[in-house]
Amino acid sequence: MNILAIESSCDETAAAVVRDGREIVSSVVATQIEEHRLYGGVVPEIASRRHCESIYAVVDEAIAKAEMTLGDIDAIGVTYAPGLVGALLVGVNFAKGLAFAANKPLIPVHHIRGHIAANYLAHKDLEPPYMCLVASGGNSLIVKVNGYTDFEIIGQTVDDAAGEAFDKSARAMGFPYPGGAFIEKAAKTGDAAKYKLPKPHTANPFDFSFSGLKTAVINLIHNTEQRGETLDINSLAACFQKTVSEILTDKFVGAARENDCKKIALAGGVAANGGLRAALQTAADKNGMTLFIPPISLCGDNAAMIGSQAFYEYQSGKTAKTDLNAYATMRLDKVIW
């Protein structure tokens, strides 16, 4: 089954053709990051306008790169939640129009379910049940994946998401938006033991809290400046990355152990972080767990992951009509459409 997938939840306009949920036939991602960087973060109205301008060309290119015509496409999958509503609506409406005109089934896909499904494209042998850590710009979740469309939330952030903590701390350190990759680069030459950063406690041991850590970074920068001392930014980046990686790894592996789960996976934009990938691999080896991680190209927002999840949503009977709407927030274990 060939699914044409469309993703426009934030600042990437993306389209892909995915075969049987596991094979990327083509994948096109048009990023708007350079423009949003001028403002230090994503400007929703600009995002919607850029999606409007590029969605036709991106979808056209994905079909052309797959060496197909619309006639070869069996269904259309689209991200409809969660995300920036104005941005989502562009993809949803485009997909609705295309599905209606070409008389193809329309499959609504939850963005975070898509991030998790990126692992199916990279690891053909991965099947539920397993446990997944989702760390992206807007979400931090520990999820028990009981089936392809059956999810249980074990832990989540009570304030900032991991990527948000990276971006806000990076901004305080003077790096451009989005700051995660800049922190990783700076951390490579820093001393990860130089500064002590806090690991906030949460009532549920598997929930996350990152806002205190972000505030500690900001306070450390201000206090150092006020004392007239020079801050070692690379070491601060290294300490921050190490602390976030340890928090994510300890809680995730702890949750997997408590749930007797030996198969674990990582997903989301922050999954691109080398420090986190290494820390998780070490913890997985120590605990006799098998770790699945998508390649960096599939960690950030893309449509191939949406095409993969769309296949499994379709198999479970999920299709939408022309009244499909977009939603800014939605739990991944309780989807509506």
Judged by CB under 6 A, the residue of 77, 128, 155, 178 near ligand KG4 is: 178
Member of 155, 163, 190, 307 binding ligand KG4 (CB under 6 A): 163
The phi and psi torsions of 274 (rounded to 5 degrees) equal -60, -40
- Please pick, from the candidates 7, 160, 207, 301, the single residue that binds ligand KG4 as defined by CB under 6 A: 301
Q: How many residues bind ligand KG4 (CB under 6 A)?
A: 19
Spatial CA neighbour of 56 closest among 30, 26, 17: 30
- Segment near ligand KG4 (CB under 6 A), from 65-73, 93-101, 134-142, 311-319? 134-142
Q: Label residue 178 left, alpha or beta by phi (over 0 means left) and psi (-120 to 50 means alpha).
A: beta
- Amino acid identity of residue 49, one-letter, is R
- The 10 Å Cβ neighbour count of residue 14 is 30
Question: Which ranges in the chain belong to alpha helices (H)?
Answer: 33-37, 44-65, 85-102, 111-122, 162-172, 180-187, 211-226, 233-258, 274-286, 304-315
Q: Identity (one letter) of the amino acid at 41?
A: G
Which residues inside 10-29 make contact with ligand KG4, applying CB under 6 A?
10
Question: Should residue 160 be labelled a site residue for ligand KG4 when binding is judged by CB under 6 A?
Answer: no
**101 burial via Cβ count (<10 Å: 0-12, 13-18, 19+):** exposed
Only segment of 63-71, 163-171, 286-294, 327-335 that touches ligand KG4 (CB under 6 A): 163-171
Does position 137 bind ligand KG4 by CB under 6 A?
Answer: yes
Give residues with Cβ within 8 angstroms of 137, minimum separation 6: 10, 161, 163, 164, 167, 178, 268, 269, 270
Please report whether residue 184 would count as binding ligand KG4 according to CB under 6 A: yes
Q: Toward ligand KG4, which CB reaches closer, 21 or 82?
A: 82
Binding ligand KG4 by CB under 6 A: which of 270, 291, 298, 306? 270
In which residue are the tokens 């499994």 written?
A: 312
From 298, 300, 308, 324, residue interacting with ligand KG4 (rule: CB under 6 A) = 300
Maximum Cα–Cα distance for the chain, whole Å?
67
Provide, rounded to whole angstroms, the least separation between the CB of residue 326 and ligand KG4: 15
Residue from 86, 91, 155, 268 that binds ligand KG4 (CB under 6 A)? 268
Q: Does 190 bind ligand KG4 (CB under 6 A)?
A: no
**Residue 126 CB partners (closer than 8 Å, separation 6+):** 119, 120, 263, 265, 292
Among 17, 272, 283, 303, binds ligand KG4 (CB under 6 A): 272
Residues of span 223-242 touching ligand KG4 by CB under 6 A: none
Q: Is 179 in the site for ligand KG4 (CB under 6 A)?
A: yes
Minimum separation from the CB atom of position 25 to ligand KG4 (A): 22
Q: In the set 14, 118, 181, 280, which binds ligand KG4 (CB under 6 A)? A: 181
> Angle at CA 237, nearest 5°, toward 232 and 242?
125
Within residues 74-103, the interface with ligand KG4 by CB under 6 A covers none
294 touches ligand KG4 by CB under 6 A: no
- Does 273 bind ligand KG4 (CB under 6 A)? Our answer is yes
Pairing of strands 150-156, 140-147: antiparallel
Residues making contact with ligand KG4 (CB under 6 A): 10, 136-138, 163, 166-167, 178-181, 184, 268-270, 272-273, 300-301
